[in-house]
Amino acid sequence: MSAAKTFFKPTPFASWELAVMRMLFALVIWDAIPGAMTSVAVPQPTGLALFFPDMVVGFGALFEAVWFKSLLGVVLVIYALGSAAVITTPLLLLVTVFAGTLTNSQGAITHHSQIVSLVLLAQSGCLVYDLIRHRKWRTGLLGQPVDREIQVAYVTQQAVVAAYMVSAYTKLKESGLDWFVNAARFPIQLKKNTRMAYFNELKEHGSDSSFLANLPAQAEALLIASPGLCRIIIGSGLVLEIAVVLALAGRAWAFFFGVAFVLFHSTISKIMGLDFDFNIYILSIFFILPGVSAAVVRWSRATTKRSR
């Protein structure tokens, strides 16, 4: 019942929580911005490169310039401090979108840092909408009231939820409920990734005796031997994706889904060598952290009361 009541309401974060989330997310953005981009053309243009190929290529060249990186650093510091968010957030969005478009226009699509840009897009949309709606230009442009920041945190959660829901929709549209049955073929994907990882460095996985190094081989053997287990492990990911909208039902639900997805991504990452770093970071900041902070505050209050 409580979930139904608070389902579509933004979580009332404290200002210190918002500040911590903002600063941690600024670090994530910095990590997502590429150091240098060597691509000098867009042989398979996607996204903005379909319309502005030269601009995308030209933008890629900027990443090597020291002044540009320094400028980005300054913008990120301002973003982290929570000032002029209406200006800094769209700027950072532009940078990550151009970098991602250039990378994805080389003929190989990667979704590695897509979630960061999607979150920045949702944040920018929310901030600009709020500015136009309230028309408080000076305070709206330079300041960042707590109410608006709570709304920004809420749309951030919605952006992450949207990505997972779209992923679930695509799976069900492509394969229907057969997806769960066919999930037993997952070891083929596992083997493929292990072999490709070998050809990256010509180094066999499990060539040393550590548990983690041997994990892909052990997982492959276990999953081939038991298709049922395979369906449960892989299927649990789709179940989480379908139900993820519940993560908007407050801190506890957000914490549950955050932890579940982080565990799922970490497991897949270890056994398949895939990179879900940005998903893990964002889930930790906007889904897990609020739950942890609420628990810590409750515990400290209880301790203070007892000591009195």
Q: Which of residues 162-221 bind other proteins (CB under 8 A)?
A: 162-163, 165-167, 169-171, 173-175, 179, 182-189, 191-193, 195-197, 199-203, 220
Query: CA–CA separation, 102 vs 252, rounded Å?
Result: 39
Instruction: Lay out the site mask for other proteins across 15-54 (x = CB under 8 A, - = otherwise).
Output: -----------------------xx---xx-xxx-x----
Cβ burial of 128 (10 Å; 0-12, 13-18, 19+) is middle
Structure tokens at 2: 């409580």
For position 110 contacting other proteins by CB under 8 A, the verdict is yes
When the beta carbons of 146 and 166 are compared against other proteins, the nearer one is 166
Only one of the segments 12-20, 100-108, 135-143, 259-267 lies at the binding site for other proteins (rule: CB under 8 A); that segment is 100-108
In the bound complex, what is the minimum distance in angstroms from residue 120's beta carbon to other proteins?
8
When the beta carbons of 53 and 125 are compared against other proteins, the nearer one is 125
When the beta carbons of 180 and 292 are compared against other proteins, the nearer one is 180
Count residues contacting other proteins (CB under 8 A)? 72
In the bound complex, what is the minimum distance in angstroms from residue 153's beta carbon to other proteins?
12
In the bound complex, what is the minimum distance in angstroms from residue 46's beta carbon to other proteins?
5
Query: CA–CA separation, 157 vs 199, rounded Å?
Result: 38
For position 283 contacting other proteins by CB under 8 A, the verdict is no
Query: CA–CA separation, 70 vs 65, rounded Å?
Result: 9
Q: Which residues contact 100 (CB under 8 A, 6 or more apart)?
A: 47, 113, 114, 117
How many C-beta atoms surround the C-beta of residue 27 within 10 A? 13
Structure tokens at 245: 């909208």
When the beta carbons of 225 and 295 are compared against other proteins, the nearer one is 225
When the beta carbons of 149 and 220 are compared against other proteins, the nearer one is 220
For position 280 contacting other proteins by CB under 8 A, the verdict is no
Window 220-249: residues binding other proteins (CB under 8 A): 220, 224-225, 234, 245, 248
Cβ burial of 236 (10 Å; 0-12, 13-18, 19+) is middle
Asked if 270 and 215 count as a contact pair (C-beta separation under 8 A), the reply is: yes
For position 135 contacting other proteins by CB under 8 A, the verdict is no
For position 106 contacting other proteins by CB under 8 A, the verdict is yes
Query: CA–CA separation, 135 vs 141, rounded Å?
Result: 10
Asked if 97 and 44 count as a contact pair (C-beta separation under 8 A), the reply is: no
Instruction: Lay out the site mask for other proteins across 69-98 (x = CB under 8 A, - = otherwise).
Output: ---------------------------xx-
In the bound complex, what is the minimum distance in angstroms from residue 95's beta carbon to other proteins?
12
Only one of the segments 5-13, 62-70, 78-86, 280-288 lies at the binding site for other proteins (rule: CB under 8 A); that segment is 5-13
Asked if 282 and 25 count as a contact pair (C-beta separation under 8 A), the reply is: yes
Q: Nearest-CA neighbor of 88 among 123, 49, 42? A: 123
For position 127 contacting other proteins by CB under 8 A, the verdict is no
In the bound complex, what is the minimum distance in angstroms from residue 266's beta carbon to other proteins?
17
